[in-house]
Structure 1
């Protein structure tokens, strides 16, 4: 019984991940540096973008590099980075407003350039 339940759960995860990737058409992938510190930063950065069905961001906290995958007919790198800045995190192109940065949890506040 446990093996059957496990197999069903794995199948659901595979289907969901395939569906998410299949939704993004006309894909373009880029890497950009986004400032942050921790796992909470990762959640904030990714949530700022991943709610849309035409863009996805995966941020690596060790390298501070985010991989942007998006439908270039619906958005662009600049719009994605603006959404991340609105969530409070800086990139090389867009600096978050002070009020947005100040709303980050203490562990997510980094030395700003």
Structure 2
């Protein structure tokens, strides 16, 4: 009888170990200002599948735990950006950023947190001289990523 319980306990421990093996913990740089931002950022991360999400407003670091079989770091970043917050790899759209409460509208640097510039192909939203816009997207047709330097488009 003891052997059955021992085997059952061993089997349970093995399944528990396998379950924990899939869990990832990552840190993600996320722009924000206040306690309200904290709530929005953490909720967005959890909505993306994070099992745990804690954002620190001083360091601007989001620590997430997630099951890699259900979501990914990039999925979490995309969901946080969709909520209006720039992350280290994904810039929030102007539309989602502008929906944030005024206290949550952080200062957006030209090149957001090590994010690579994305060049726009939509000429109607670009300046006439082809210079970079405030979001560092380049305004020349057929421009490639990383085209902006010092507020001017690099020549291709």
For Structure 1 versus Structure 2, the TM-score category normalised by the shorter chain is 0.7 to 0.9
1:105 and 2:101 correspond: yes
Partner SS for 1:56: strand
Figure out how many residues of one structure are paired with residues of the other and give that number: 91
- Report how far residue 51 of structure 1 moved: 3.8
Q: Name the structure, 1 or 2, with higher relative contact order (CA <8 Å, separation 6+).
A: 1
Change (3 A) 1:46 1:24: farther
d(CA) in 2 for partners of 1:102, 1:60: 22
1:31 alignment partner in structure 2? 27
Residue ranges of structure 2 left out of the alignment (5+ in a row)? 1-18, 110-156
- Report how far residue 57 of structure 1 moved: 1.5
- Report how far residue 56 of structure 1 moved: 2.5
Instruction: Please provide the CA RMSD for this pair.
Output: 1.9
User: Does the 8 Å CA contact 2:49/2:70 hold for their aligned counterparts?
Assistant: no
2:36 alignment partner in structure 1? 40
2:67 alignment partner in structure 1? 71
Radius of gyration: which is bigger?
Answer: 2
* Cα deviations by residue, 1:48-92 (Å, 9 ceiling, x for unpaired): 122466532110011100101100111110000000000000011
TM-score by length of 2: 0.54
User: Does the 8 Å CA contact 2:49/2:71 hold for their aligned counterparts?
Assistant: no
- Report how far residue 25 of structure 1 moved: 7.3
Where is the helix percentage greater, Structure 1 or Structure 2?
A: 1
TM-score by length of 1: 0.73
User: Does the 8 Å CA contact 1:25/1:54 hold for their aligned counterparts?
Assistant: no
Residue ranges of structure 1 left out of the alignment (5+ in a row)? 1-22
Partner SS for 2:92: coil
